[in-house]
A = this chain, B = another copy of it.
């Protein structure tokens, strides 16, 4: 059986910089038409010059004219409307991180004072710039995302014209919030469709499955699977593929992130063929994002997958992917 996906999109991607970018950039640009590029470099991308130069480095590393990096800035409540208007054409969204909540997020938002945030968020609403949010409080690790839902609600009600994307959701509470507010959307990663905390810490500890937000309970995973498999129009695939060198994962103080970019379409295909349809997969990996992000242009690309065993490499350069060494059912056999 051969399956064709049109212009797949990865709406949440970490491409890093320099050597790591040169390794992981081509792995995404080969099989995706575009990706929302996270701005949490060190220092974060927060100026027009920084954004343009990062985009240039990405395009150079990716060497693929059918891949568009959708650039983002690291949210700061000091961005003025004039500044935002001046960068609007260069970016696709702005990413908000609570301070210190994940890799390289130290300069993020502390407290969520609506008055402090209002000028920037009003300007984003007017300029139709979507807000991507890493939604975790600094509470207990299993509660952080559910606790953040009240902040999503505050943002959704105070800024009804702002498109707010709940990034890499992991809980049934976030899925419920999605239904409650018209202007809330969500991305779901590959790994959160497949793992729970049991896979990370239920047997031996698996550092390569350690990520933020941490994988939650089986019922949370079920809630994510349901909306993904039904091609829910407010839900997009966003891998949150986050490469770290092997030594940074297998050590005392392991970095958060699961590397999935080169295996995502193969795994999703098997999953949707088994539990849903190829049409719903097309919605999840492309069409929904096209509708939600009305401001993106999408290069045409056709990915053909066939039922043909694919053994996941143990490493891509020095990065260990999810399912390293395991056999997947589908392979990408053609890209046009």
Using CB atoms and an 8 Å cutoff, list the residues of chain A in contact with chain B: 140-142, 196-198, 200-202, 204-208, 210, 214, 217-218, 249-256, 320
Contact = CB atoms under 8 A, between A and B. Distances in A.
A51 to B, nearest CB: 28
Contact of A201 (B198, B204, B210, B320): B210
Contact of A198 (B141, B196, B251): B141
A253 B205 contact: yes
Q: How many copies does the complex hold?
A: 2
SS of A interface (majority)? loop
A256 B252 CA distance: 14
Contacts of A253: 204-206
Nearest to A210: B205
A320 B252 contact: yes
A68 B206 CA distance: 37
A144 to B, nearest CB: 8
Contact of A140 (B198, B255, B256): B198
17 contacts: A140-B196, A140-B198, A140-B202, A140-B218, A141-B197, A141-B202, A142-B142, A142-B197, A204-B253, A205-B207, A206-B253, A207-B207, A207-B251, A207-B254, A208-B252, A250-B251, A252-B320
